[in-house]
Amino acid sequence: MVTGAAGGIGSAIVRSLAAQGATVHGLDRDLDGQMQLAAELEPHGCFVPHEVDFSDSAAADRVTAAMIGALAGRCDILVNNAGVSRVRDFAETDDELLDYLFTANFRGAFRLTRALLPALKASGSAAVVNIASELALVGQAGYTAYCATKGAVLAWSRALAVELAGRGIRVNAVCPGPIDTPMLNAEFAFAAQPLEARLEEIALVPLGRLGAPSDIAAVVAFLASDAAKFVTGAAWSVDGGKTAR
């Protein structure tokens, strides 16, 4: 199962897992985007889209209940990728925005994983991969609320890995740096000089480029595979060296 399946990173993760033979259930509020992805992958018959908005907890619970039935009680891989960002000065970050970001970026993943716990246990060797962010590791002006939510994802991932280690479930976090996606481009568009903002961001990356969604998908696929069977509780920075400075 992959949340945020229609987004730039999410769709890349779906493609990567499907290419390795997984039947992937997608969860995203963008049903049209998921349907396009399903059409692309149709020859393989391996992607099943579901419409859900994780900022609406009641609706998410209803979809989750239906999903458990669709999975026939077993889930081998869960990728909590869904998330949103907002650029806002701290003094202007009201409770409504804070609650929205925590619900979309953290509570949704927490609640979904909790609901799927019996299905993950039934796998016998399940892998949970949570998409955090470089901003779970470092701070950035204008992102105080977003940093808080992604920091919560990372801390929760580590605690969950310890708690579930004896139940055949591995939990890891991936911390993407600047990835060339519509969400990042929307953040650039918020700047007074979008092109300058993009170039300034690239200048902060030692490898000299923005990441591609496939860069994240490859690491997720590894962490979900048996090749990573002794890896749990880890935070994987996939940022071109940005946070190593």
Known catalytic residues?
A: 146
Of 61, 170, 44, the closest CA to residue 107 belongs to: 61
Of 134, 155, 153, 130, the closest CA to residue 143 belongs to: 134
Are 111 and 66 in contact by the 8 Å Cβ rule? The answer is no
Of 50, 243, 42, the closest CA to residue 135 belongs to: 243
DSSP secondary structure code for residue 231 in this structure? -
Three-class SS state of 214: helix
Which residue pairs from 134-142 have beta carbons closer than 8 angstroms and sit at least 24 positions apart in sequence?
Answer: 134/175, 134/176, 134/177, 134/178, 134/237, 134/239, 134/242, 134/243, 136/173, 136/175, 136/235, 137/175, 137/235, 137/237, 137/243, 138/243, 141/89, 142/87, 142/88, 142/89
